[in-house]
Amino acid sequence: MKNIITFLVIVFCGSSYAQYTKIFDFAGANGKYPVSSLISDGSYFYGMTMEGGISDSGTVFKIKSDGSGFVKLFDFSGALNGSYPKGSLISDGTFLYGMTYSGGTNNNGVIFKIKPDGTGFSKLLDFSGVNGRFPFGSLFCNGNFLYGMTCGGGTYPDNLYNGSGVLFRINKDGTGDTVLLNFNHTNGQNPAGSLITDGTFLYGMTSQGGTGPCGDGCGVVFKIMPDGTGYSKLLDFSNSSGAWPLGSFFYDDIFLYGVTQDGGANAGIIFRIKPDGSSDSTLFSFTGGPTLGAYPLGSLITDGTFLYGTTYDGGANFAGTIFKITKDGSGYSTLFDNFTYAEGSHPCSSLISDGNFLYGMTSEGGVNNSGTIFKYCLTTVGEEEPIINNIHLIIYPNPTSDILTIEASQNITIEILNINGQIIKAIYNRGKKTKIDLESLSCGVYIIKVKTDTEVVAKKFVKSKKQVQQ
């Protein structure tokens, strides 16, 4: 029998409504209508707004987790440097990289990089149409390459986006732009999310296309090698099994987990599928109304046990919800269902967590109806949280800037995942004490997953900035 130890959590949150706190109101000049997600370097959150700023074309900003220290880092201005970003930023530890949906020389969107202090902005690519147009999701960094998808462009015609979209690769310095795949309806159409990897293949979804009965198709799940070979369609959404996904996957070494914004009971689903396309199953079907939520638009995150996400609609005021569910589909719970005009409404993006709080943004609402940033406390005084403790896992120091030490009671396999569930590093068949060099990781919150033949334990740690000796 597993040894279960309980402890008292010391963070006070009170009732479910008191657990929700609006920490920032966008005001137009500093940005408005955020539809992307936040990322963290351990000290600041970084994000973008779709509109607002000097030219009303969107902004890049940073803010501390308590809502203080807001800084507008950059104003997009249209033809010169892009406009209306709809995806999220990524970081390689030196630069932040992102895309805008439109603007640039051809008004088809751009790829850019910028330093976390707001200096060093550089436009890496103007999309031309043939190499893609209107990127909706985020970039994915794999070594020296950036990978991404565009919702339109390419060589296959599409009445709405002037092309069905492409999957591309580009060097981080902006050279070597290469279209790896043109979507052609059958293999998917109009991707609006981002890519992930299992270390071998890239995985993604398209919002339309495939053989499903949704007019232009209900969307597909696919995988492809990083060099553009080995494309395989893993699933055609069928409406009853989901339709029109806009988010991305996270991968736990067994399943890919995702959501669709529609289908199922007509308000979207949570699903999982194995990387070979087998074992596709609906974990939960949203029904809308004041209880369960409707239309999940972002991606899921995990703490190793639960999946967390948001819905755009549903809830007490039909303004969205925050939810959690276990990875086998049991234990669905609406954590927060009281988004309001004043406190923020209609979250479109994914959540991020520091272990105690979930953080996110609403696309509307707030004092200026320009959107908000919020946090939701996961724990309350007196709440007992079970810890499965057969492995007797200790990790230290936490936070750490360079070396993480792991001590366990038996031989283990170690995986480090980012907060979106993507595997960053894997170390196999190690002994009872292991030191891991984190120099290559960006600052932020990570999950360390330790496995034996019979058990898995997950804990969070923070990669912090390295202190400079004076």
344-387 pLDDT, tens digit per residue, is: 999 999 999 988 899 999 999 999 999 999 999 986 433 333 33
Query: Taking all residues of the chain, what is their mean pLDDT, rounded to a whole number?
Result: 88
At 404 the pLDDT is 85
| Cα gap 46→301, rounded to integer Å | 17
pLDDT (average), residues 126-154: 96
> Could you tell me where in the chain the CATH 2.120.10.60 domains are found?
4-377
| Cα gap 410→430, rounded to integer Å | 9
Per-residue pLDDT band at 469 (split at 50, 70, 90): very low
In three-state secondary structure terms, 330 is coil
| Cα gap 47→39, rounded to integer Å | 7
Could you read off the pLDDT of 311-322 as tens digits, one per residue?
999 999 999 999
Let me know: does 354 contact 41? Beta carbons within 8 Å.
Answer: no
Q: Which long-range contacts (CB under 8 A, 24 or more apart) does 397-402 make?
A: 398/461, 398/462, 399/42, 399/461, 399/462, 399/463, 399/464, 400/438, 400/461, 400/462, 400/463, 400/464, 401/438, 401/463, 401/464, 401/465, 401/466, 401/467, 402/437, 402/438, 402/439, 402/466
Q: At residue 353, what is the residue type?
A: S
Model confidence, pTM: 0.83
At 284 the pLDDT is 97
| Cα gap 74→397, rounded to integer Å | 35
Which pair of tokens denotes residue 331? 């234990």
| Cα gap 48→37, rounded to integer Å | 8
| Cα gap 312→298, rounded to integer Å | 9
> Could you tell me where in the chain the CATH 2.60.40.3080 domains are found?
391-463
Distances (CA, A) of 203 to 157, 199, 222, 353, 375: 23, 10, 6, 23, 30
Which residues sit opposite 426 in a β-bridge? Answer: 415
At 122 the pLDDT is 98
Per-residue pLDDT band at 430 (split at 50, 70, 90): low
Could you read off the pLDDT of 64-123 as tens digits, one per residue?
999 999 999 999 999 999 999 999 999 998 999 999 999 999 999 999 999 999 999 999
Give Cα 43 to chain centroid, integer Å: 19
Could you read off the pLDDT of 216-263 as tens digits, one per residue?
999 999 999 999 999 999 999 999 999 999 999 989 889 999 999 999
Protein fold of 4-377: Neuraminidase (2.120.10)
CATH code, 391-463: 2.60.40.3080
Let me know: does 156 contact 184? Beta carbons within 8 Å.
Answer: yes
Could you read off the pLDDT of 255-292 as tens digits, one per residue?
999 999 999 999 999 999 999 999 999 999 999 888 88
| Cα gap 182→155, rounded to integer Å | 6
